[in-house]
């Protein structure tokens, strides 16, 4: 039972929950949140891959990848949220007589 096993399992669980959220939920912002959870889950898997027994330093490569992943996920979220806002305005404009 080392930290990387614990967090590895947690990461996969978070990815699973996010995947379920992205597929099953109907509401737009929740699905986006599900995707963000998947992204954090994938981040967990990579960071767990980098962890080494304490005296040894962890492998820096996955750390850089996850930082890139986080920024990429933020960009995608920002675009999706802009779409949600705009779509809401359009639908709102149509519903109101």
Q: Which of residues 56-85 bind another protein (CB under 8 A)?
A: 57-85
Q: Which of residues 2-61 bind another protein (CB under 8 A)?
A: 3-10, 12-54, 57-61
Total interface residues for another protein by CB under 8 A? 91
Please say whether the beta carbons of 22 and 38 come within 8 A: yes
Q: Tell me how far, at minimum, the Cβ of 93 lies from another protein, in Å.
A: 9
**CA nearest 77: which of 30, 10, 45?**
30
Q: Tell me how far, at minimum, the Cβ of 74 lies from another protein, in Å.
A: 5
Q: Residue 88 is encoded by which pair of tokens?
A: 């809401």
Q: Residue 28 is encoded by which pair of tokens?
A: 């737009």
């Amino acid at each position: 039972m080392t930290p990387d096993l614990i967090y590895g399992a947690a990461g996969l669980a978070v990815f699973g929950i996010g995947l379920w959220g992205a597929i099953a939920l109907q509401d737009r912002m929740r699905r986006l949140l599900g995707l963000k959870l998947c992204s954090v889950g994938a981040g967990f898997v990579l960071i767990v891959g980098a962890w080494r027994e304490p005296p040894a330093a962890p492998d820096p490569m996955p750390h850089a990848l996850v930082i890139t992943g986080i920024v990429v996920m933020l960009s995608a979220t920002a675009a999706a949220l802009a779409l949600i806002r705009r779509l809401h305005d359009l639908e709102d404009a149509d519903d109101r007589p």
